[in-house]
Structure 1
Amino acid sequence: MSKSIVLVIIDMQQGMSWPQAGERNNPNAEQEIAELLAHWRASHAPIVHVRHLSTEPESLFWPEQEGVLFQDAFQPLADEKIIEKSVPDAFTYSDLNVWLREQDAQALVVVGVSTNNSVESTVRSAGNLGFKTYVVSSACFAFEKDDFFGQSRSADEVHAMSLANLHGEYATVISQDEAFALLS
């Protein structure tokens, strides 16, 4: 099954590393994502890079400025799929589902940012579309956020709640070592 396990890297763009993005958790997430990317490349397994292109001019991800560019460590290679999106869900308004079916993808390993936004939205759709989906908890991160009632929630709390929303329902939350083992 290893060739049909696709690594999906969500929104690892320059703006995500800027201070104005906010207080975040998992400071080692980029290193873990880079290690997973290297492992997938060494295994010649399929990789998808997702990039957010905002429709809001004041966004860090407004097209044609540096925040929208992929971080250097996550530059796609010529044979890796790029999905551009303007909403959190990478499946909406894109050919991601069609491309994954053409690749005969049986499972997805999803990493990136932010756990409670684009990662969660994309993973929910993947699960609903019937893909066996995994989320690597240490290779995703979130930002602090106020909850519905105005109480400030730490990035760790936001991240943990999002993982809880996904695990067992839409995906299986796994460790980086468990992700490596999927391609063994």
Structure 2
Amino acid sequence: MTLDLSRAVLLPIDIQKGFDDPHWPKRWNSDFEANALAVLAHWRASGRPIIHVRHDSAEPGSPFAPGQPGNDLRPGFEPRAGEPLLTKSVNSAFIGTDLDLRLRRMGVDTVVAFGMSTDMCVSTTIRTGTNLGWKMVLVADASDCFDLPDGRGSTIPGRMVHDAHVATLAYEFCDVIETADLIGLRVAA
């Protein structure tokens, strides 16, 4: 795959403790956290910019509400010095935030996104970013999602939900890459 990431920013989305709350259905990607940490470590080693995204829910009782333990980022995903944290209260990291302006000021042209969950905040952020003119890239195996009720009494397995969203995003909204391929890319400084 040829992918120019020389002017790219990494966008880890909503890798928060609240997704461990027992009310969530089963997740499918047992390699999610290891892959996401590998992407983050690789990107940090390259010295390229990172903007962390955290969901600050405005819904009463949400585990993602500010001040709740579930609002915290998972261990290892906390921003380091010089890595800004962007907070949002809706699915897209572009809506109600200054993300678009930050990216323009940084002089980047590509956003590499991954996180929780593929079908919700990751997908919505990628779609919005594409609509705003950004080159979007999804690290598919560094993302995860949940089994979902189908509205007819059955459940759609999380892997199927993930695969359908990745296919839709790849068809029209972004390039899709896997962790090993991202780490193997040579990027001009």
What TM-score, normalized by structure 2, do the two folds share? 0.91
Distance 1:119 1:88, change over 3 A: same
Percent of matched pairs sharing the same residue: 37
Distance 1:149 1:105 in 2: 44
Task: Return the match for 2:86 from 83, 88, 93.
Answer: 83
What residue is the counterpart of 2:70 in the other structure?
67
Structure 2 segments unaligned to the other structure (5+ residues): none
Distance 1:24 1:2 in 2: 30
24-33 or 174-183, which moves further after superposition?
174-183
Residues 4 and 103 of structure 1 are in contact (CA less than 8 Å); yes or no, is this contact kept in structure 2?
no
Aligned residues: 184
Once the 2 structures are TM-superposed, how far is the Cα of residue 82 of structure 1 from its aligned partner? 1.0
25-34 or 113-122, which moves further after superposition?
25-34
Task: Return the match for 1:96 from 83, 96, 99.
Answer: 99
Task: Return the match for 2:127 from 101, 121, 124.
Answer: 124
Structure 1 segments unaligned to the other structure (5+ residues): none
| 1:2-13 superposed matches below 5 A | 2-13=5-16
Task: Return the match for 1:137 from 140, 145, 149.
Answer: 140
Residues 38 and 179 of structure 2 are in contact (CA less than 8 Å); yes or no, is this contact kept in structure 1?
no
Considering only aligned residues, what root-mean-square deviation do their CA atoms show, in Å? 1.5
What residue is the counterpart of 1:164 in the other structure?
167
1:135-163 per-position Cα deviation (integer Å, ceiling 9, x unaligned): 11100000111235554101111111111
Distance 1:183 1:19, change over 3 A: farther
Distance 1:75 1:19 in 2: 23
Higher strand fraction: Structure 1 or Structure 2?
A: 1
**SS of match in other structure, 1:72:** coil
Deviating 4+ runs (over 4 angstroms): none
Q: Does the alignment pair 1:29 with 2:35?
A: no
What TM-score, normalized by structure 1, do the two folds share? 0.94
